[in-house]
Structure 1
Amino acid sequence: MSTAQITVVGLGSGHPDQLTLGIWRKLQSATELYIRTKDHPVMTLLDAEGVAYRSFDDIYEQHESFPDVYEAIAGQLIAAASNNNAAANIVYAVPGHPMVAERTVQLLRERCHNQSIELNIMGGESFLDQAFVRLGIDPIEGFALLDASELPIALLQPQLHTIIGQVYDAYTASDVKLALMERYPDDFEVYVCHALGVAGDEQIVRAPLFEIDRLDGYGNLSLVYVPRSDNPDLRNRTLERLHEIVAILRSPDGCPWDQEQTHQSIRKNFIEELYEALEALDNDDPDSMVEEFGDVLLQLMLHSQMEEEQGTFTIYDVVEALSEKLVFRHPHVFGEQQAGNAEEALGNWEEMKKEEHKRKGTKRQSQLDGIPPDLPALMKAYKLQKKAAKVGFDWSEIDSVLAKIEEELSELREAIASKDPEEQAGELGDLLFAVVNASRFIKADPEEALTRTNRKFIDRFQYIEEQLGIKGKTFDQTDLLEMDRLWEEAKSR
Structure 2
Amino acid sequence: MEAKLIIVGLGTGDENQLTLGIWRRIEEAKRIYVRTEQHPVVDFLKRSGIEVHSFDPVYERHSDFASVYEEIADKLMELAAEAGDGPVLYGVPGHPMVAEQTTQLLRSRCAEQGLPLEVLGGESFLDQVFLRFGFDPIEGFQLLDAGDVQGGRLNPLLHTIIGQVYDAYTASDVKLGLMELYPDDYPVTIGHALGVPGEEVIREVPLYELDREEGYGNLSLIWVPRSEQDELQNRTFSRLHEIVAILRSPDGCPWDREQTHESIRKNLIEETYEVLETIDDDDPDAMAEELGDLLLQIMLHSQMEEETGAFTVFDVIAGLNEKLIRRHPHVFGDRTAGNAEEALANWQDIKQEEKRKKGIEVEKQSVLDGVPRDLPGLMKAYKLQKKAASVGFDWDRSEEVLAKVREELAELEAEMGEGAEPERRTEELGDLLFAVVNLARFLKVDPEEAIASCSRKFYRRFQYIEEQMRINGQKMDKTELQVMEKYWQEAKKVQ
Same fold? TM cut 0.5: yes
> Normalised by the size of structure 2, how large is the TM-score?
0.90
For 2:253 and 2:211, locate their aligned partners in 1 and report how far apart those are by CA, in whole Å.
44
In the TM superposition, 1:312-323 aligns within 5 A as 312-323=310-321
Structure 2 Cα separation of the partners of residues 484 and 162 of structure 1: 63
Is the 8 Å Cα contact of residues 7 and 119 (structure 2) preserved in structure 1?
yes
Question: Could you say which residue in structure 2 is the equivalent of 1:129?
Answer: 127
Letter in 2 for 1:413: E
2:157 aligned partner: 159
Aligned position for 2:458: 457
Letter in 2 for 1:75: D
Q: Equivalent residue of 1:7, what SS?
A: strand
Deviations 1:295-331 (A, max 9, x none): 1111111122122222222212222222222223333
SS of the aligned residue for 1:158 comes to: coil
Which string of whole-angstrom CA distances, capped at 9 and with x for unpartnered residues, describes residues 382-411 of structure 1? 122233334443334433322322322332
Q: Superposed, which structure 2 residues align to 1:36-47 within 5 Å?
A: 36-47=35-46
Q: Which moved more, 1:192-201 or 1:356-365?
A: 356-365
- Following TM superposition, by how much is the alpha carbon of 1:147 offset from its aligned partner in structure 2, in angstroms? 0.7
Cα distance in 2 for partners of 1:393, 1:321 equals 35
Shift of 1:482: 3.2
Letter in 2 for 1:152: Q
Residue from 299, 306, 309 that aligns with 2:307? 309
Are residues 60 and 401 of structure 1, via their aligned partners in 2, closer, same or farther at CA, if it must alter by over 3 Å?
Answer: same
Provide the rounded CA distance (Å) in 2 between the counterparts of 1:424 and 1:145.
Answer: 70
What SS class does the counterpart of residue 42 from structure 1 fall into?
helix
Corresponding residue for 2:493?
Answer: 489
CA distance in 2, matches of 1:53, 1:27: 10
> Cα distance 1:466–1:95, how it changes in 2: closer, same or farther (>3 A)?
same
1:27-426 alignment, distance < 5 Å: 27-82=26-81, 84-87=82-85, 89-362=87-360, 366-416=366-416, 420=420, 422=422, 423-426=424-427
Q: CA deviation at 1:14?
A: 1.3
Question: Which amino acid is 1:440 matched to?
Answer: R
C-alpha displacement of 1:15: 0.7
Note if contact 2:175-2:211 (Cα within 8 Å) is conserved in structure 1: yes
Give, in whole Å, the separation in 1 of the partners of 2:453 and 2:29.
78
Q: Which amino acid aligns with 1:100?
A: V
1:41 Cα shift?
Answer: 1.3
Cα gap change, 1:442/1:325 in structure 2, threshold over 3 Å: closer, same or farther?
Answer: farther
1:106 Cα offset (Å): 1.9
TM alignment of 1:15-34, pairs within 5 A: 15-34=14-33
* C-alpha separation in 2, matches of 1:19 and 1:240: 41
Q: Secondary structure at the match of 1:348?
A: helix
**Post-superposition offset of 1:286:** 0.5
Equivalent residue, structure 2, for 1:431: 432
1:479 aligns with 2:483: yes
CA RMSD of aligned residues (A): 2.6
Displacement of 1:280 in angstroms is 0.8
AA aligned to 1:449 is A
The answer to whether the 8 Å contact 1:3/1:116 transfers is no
Q: Provide the identity percentage.
A: 59
- Confirm or deny: 8 A CA contact 1:14 1:197 kept in the other structure: yes
CA gap 1:337/1:418 in 2 versus in 1, 3 angstroms: farther
CA distance in 1, matches of 2:178, 2:430: 56
Asked if the contact 1:463–1:490 (Cα under 8 Å) also holds between the matched residues in 2, the reply is no
Deviation at 1:419? 6.8
Task: State how far apart, in whole Å, the 2-side matches of 1:117 and 1:317 are.
Answer: 42
Aligned residues between the structures: 489
The Cα offsets for residues 154-187 of structure 1, whole Å up to 9 and x where unpaired, read as 3212222221111112221222122122222333
Structure 1 stretch 107-116 or stretch 446-455: which is displaced more? 107-116
Separation (CA, whole Å) in 2 of partners of 1:76 and 1:317: 44
CA contact under 8 A between 2:192 and 2:202: conserved in structure 1?
yes
Supply the AA of the counterpart residue of 1:382. Y
Do 1:194 and 1:222's aligned partners in 2 also have CA atoms closer than 8 Å?
A: yes
Instruction: Give, in angstroms, the shift of residue 473 of structure 1.
Output: 6.3
Alpha-carbon spacing, 1:340–1:474, altered in 2? closer, same or farther (3 Å): farther
CA-CA distance at 1:64 after TM superposition: 1.9
1:428 counterpart letter in structure 2: L
Shift in alpha-carbon separation, 1:490–1:400, aligned structure 2, 3 A: same
Distance 2:62 2:46 in 1: 27
The answer to whether the 8 Å contact 1:3/1:117 transfers is no
Q: Secondary structure at the match of 2:182?
A: coil
C-alpha change, 1:215 and 1:26, in structure 2 (3 Å) is same
- For residues 273 and 424 of structure 1, the distance between their equivalents in structure 2, rounded to whole angstroms, comes to 33
8 Å Cα contact 1:395/1:401 also seen in 2: yes
